[in-house]
Chains A and B, each alone.
Chain A
Amino acid sequence: MSSTAQSIQDAKLRADIDRSLRHPVMFFMTSGAAWLAVSIILGLISSAKVHSPEFLSGFGWLTYGRVFPAHIAALVYGWGFQAAFGVMIWLMARLSRQECKSAGIILAAGHVWNFAVSIGLLGILGGAGTGVPWMEFPTFIWPVLLVTYFVIVVWSFIQFRVRPSGYVYISQWYIMAAMVWFPWIFLTANLLVFVFQGHPVMAAGIAAWFKSGLIFLFFTPVALAASYYLAPKVTGRPIFSYTLAKLGFWSLAIIAPWAGMQKLTGAPIPFFLPYLGAAATALLFIPALAAGVNILRTTLASPEAVEQSPSLRFSVAGIIGLLVFGFAGLFLNLPGSSLKLTQFSLSGYGFEILALYSFFSFIMFGAIYFIVPRITRREWLSRRLISMHFFFSVYGIIAVSVVALFGGLMQGIGQEEWIQPWINAATRTYPYAIFITIAWAFILFSNVFFFLHLTLMWLRLGRRSSHPTLLVSHHGGSSPHGAEGDIDNAGPGSADAHAH
């Protein structure tokens, strides 16, 4: 009797935690999804302008040089950070078994973040961008973002401190690390580029280090935290190897801070720095492999779970994205061959999108499909909407990543053919650019479904049911959860509801 009582107690605590966090987490998810859609539209426009420069031309606010940075800013600061915040605060609360008492403050801070990002984006499109890649917001924005960030995450830090003593989950280490790394990187980069006057080329180097740090030391750990939580949770199996998990974490912590400067190979900065950056980026294949193998072996031990559960399927796709991304990091940074070819090509964009979408975003989608039913107490409305989201995103992102990486290589080969006039190299990108535009259209299509679905959930229009929305429908009630998709008119929990 006591173990059932224990599990009731547990379920109750979890339900209370979910309820306490409902408003801020739903806000971050939905608002993030809206920013994702905005970012993809901007990405579509800028990709179209690469092969059809007369598309929407003549307007200052839509010129490629402003639309493209706006696309990246919306993707990173609008979608990336907000999805990360939603997942971070929910995960830390659950894993530390603490309810959130500051939901109102977090929600307010989230609105401030939204406002700051909107102003920043309008600033970029209006011609007030700073010209520093990934730091294009007008310079008054970054302090606002930093303060807001602290207001959002400090409660998670506190929750960790007051957690009941005992086991610390690997996800908690990743979230704690991300919470420490991001402000350190953000403050350093913004101070050394905008506030303290240094050498202009070193400032460019620090901006490149910032870009790499954001990818590897904020988005990567948050995504890994989510997948290290989802994999055992949904399958019910233990993480494959704790040793591998530790190896993955510490190798990331030790290697990633050195990466980034390879963007400045050949520029007049201390000679060893770009090669150190290239070596570190290549070595980051190790944490990618460690985490990837660990999570895949955990989940693929129960393939039916991967088939059925949307969260798990998205997570596994994201982990495969991680492995591809890690390998691309190895492959693109060989100084004798690929580095000089891809340094100034489409491959850089492909690499960033691999990280931000095929790895980070897919895992965030997985986490969202898991978290939202719990905090809204409704199930997802439609299996088909989830499937559409999944498949169109997968097609789209494989196209974008592969085409950009390969196309960049071709472009780079053309660039290095110095005897030919430049137009030869410039025209090499045409077919790849067209492909990428089409791929973004697919991804936009998929995310429209996602945003719609999420909004309906936010409006509490999800299914009232005790049966989850799974990707595989079981006709005839052979699933342990009973016939999927039914609306219990007599109220859930009546008659044949199951308990775990």
Chain B
Amino acid sequence: MSVPNSKPDLDESINVAEAHGRIIREAAATAREKRIADNGREPVSLWLVVVIGISGVVAGGILGNGGAWFDYQALFKPGYVRDAAPGGDDSGPKPKDAIAAYSTRGAKLYSAKCAGCHGPDAKGDGANYPSLAGSKRVLGNTDALAMVILNGIQGPTSSGKTYGAGIMPPQGAGMGAEDLAGLMTYIRNGFGNTAGDVVTVDMAKSALDISGKRAKAGQPATDAEVMAEHDKALPGEPLDPATMLNPVTLQPATE
């Protein structure tokens, strides 16, 4: 790799200037390098020692969690007993009876969508918005009620009276089966109403289906249409209102 004529040791036969020029020309980067000077003897500053000390303390704390060192037999923390879920003796929300479970869901939806017109106490205002408390529609057959909720209604209501401009806007947009079931169960069993049964998720699914298949799908329903074609209970297995359910998933909780 070396140039054939170079000698490892410098002696008089090497022309320094010529060698100098050759190095500069060919290996400029190497030639201009600085030398690594001797290492400094600056003292280690105090704040560095302090920070190192703090890291040591933190690490010591971490190690403290490790129990007995080098205890290869203990695969779990010695003396470990499972903690109960914080904030309650069950994990997850407490189970409720079916009507309460569905109503929890329905209440949220009611205050978001319905209370604005029908009022937070569901009594309406007598002239523009009908009362849901004691309403024949609400306490009647579930298919009819579902059609009105999903599609709105035009003209007179189940009491024969026309409220306000005579139109309720449809509420079905974006409403899933669980939401519809919760809402219907809520209004049928709250505000003084006592239907005493649960509109299940399956029933609500059927309702969504039926609503989509209406002859006048997309348009608001009328009292006449609803009484003629939808005055029946929604198809689906009835659910014993005393069943305990998980209010979040609406699934049975055996607890």
B92 contact set on A, CB distance < 8 A = 418-419
On whether the beta carbons of B29 and A374 are closer than 8 Å, the reply is: yes
Shortest distance in angstroms between A369's beta carbon and chain B's nearest beta carbon? 11
1/0 per residue B55-98: CB within 8 Å of A?
11011111101111111111111100000010000011100000
On whether the beta carbons of B6 and A282 are closer than 8 Å, the reply is: no
Contact of A233 among B24, B33, B42, B51 (CB under 8 A): B33
- 4 other contacts beyond A10-B35, A99-B2, A236-B35, with CB at 8 A cut-off? A19-B1, A243-B41, A374-B27, A374-B30
Residue of B nearest to A273 (CB): B66
On whether the beta carbons of A272 and B68 are closer than 8 Å, the reply is: yes
User: Which stretch in A32-40, A111-119, A328-336, A446-454 binds the other chain?
Assistant: A328-336
B66 contact set on A, CB distance < 8 A = 271-272, 274-276, 279
Interface size class, chain A: 35 or more
Chain A interface residues toward B at CB < 8 A: 1, 4-6, 8-12, 14-16, 18-20, 99, 101, 169-170, 229, 232-245, 247, 268-272, 274-276, 278-280, 282-283, 285-286, 289-290, 293, 297-298, 330, 333-336, 373-374, 377, 379, 418-419, 421, 465-468, 481, 491-493, 497-500
On whether the beta carbons of A239 and B40 are closer than 8 Å, the reply is: yes
Residue of B nearest to A500 (CB): B32
B73 contact set on A, CB distance < 8 A = 270
On whether the beta carbons of B55 and A377 are closer than 8 Å, the reply is: no
Q: How far is the CA of A93 from the CA of B218 in the complex (A)?
A: 82
Known contacts A233-B33, A270-B72, A247 near B23 by CB under 8 Å: no
Shortest distance in angstroms between B51's beta carbon and chain A's nearest beta carbon? 6
Q: How far is the CA of A101 from the CA of B48 in the complex (A)?
A: 44
On whether the beta carbons of B40 and A330 are closer than 8 Å, the reply is: no
On whether the beta carbons of A16 and B41 are closer than 8 Å, the reply is: no
List residues of B (117-144) whose CB comes within 8 Å of A's CBs.
Answer: none
On whether the beta carbons of A238 and B62 are closer than 8 Å, the reply is: no
User: Can you list 15 pairs linking A and B with CB atoms under 8 Å apart?
Assistant: A8-B16, A18-B30, A20-B1, A232-B36, A238-B40, A241-B42, A244-B48, A247-B44, A268-B75, A279-B60, A279-B62, A289-B48, A334-B62, A374-B30, A497-B28
The answer to the question of B175 belonging to the interface, with a C-beta cut-off of 8 Å to chain A, is no
Q: How far is the CA of A9 from the CA of B30 in the complex (A)?
A: 12
Known contacts A12-B23, A271-B67, A468 near B29 by CB under 8 Å: yes
On whether the beta carbons of B1 and A1 are closer than 8 Å, the reply is: no
On whether the beta carbons of B37 and A271 are closer than 8 Å, the reply is: no
On whether the beta carbons of A234 and B34 are closer than 8 Å, the reply is: yes
Contact of A12 among B19, B42, B65 (CB under 8 A): B19
The answer to the question of B39 belonging to the interface, with a C-beta cut-off of 8 Å to chain A, is yes
The answer to the question of B213 belonging to the interface, with a C-beta cut-off of 8 Å to chain A, is no
Shortest distance in angstroms between A163's beta carbon and chain B's nearest beta carbon? 14
Q: How far is the CA of A268 from the CA of B76 in the complex (A)?
A: 7
Known contacts A4-B16, A19-B1, A500-B32, A283 near B74 by CB under 8 Å: no
A233 contact set on B, CB distance < 8 A = 33-34, 36
Q: How far is the CA of A244 from the CA of B76 in the complex (A)?
A: 39
Q: Which 10 A-B pairs have the closest CB atoms?
A: A275-B66, A466-B28, A15-B27, A242-B39, A493-B25, A272-B66, A236-B34, A279-B62, A373-B29, A238-B37
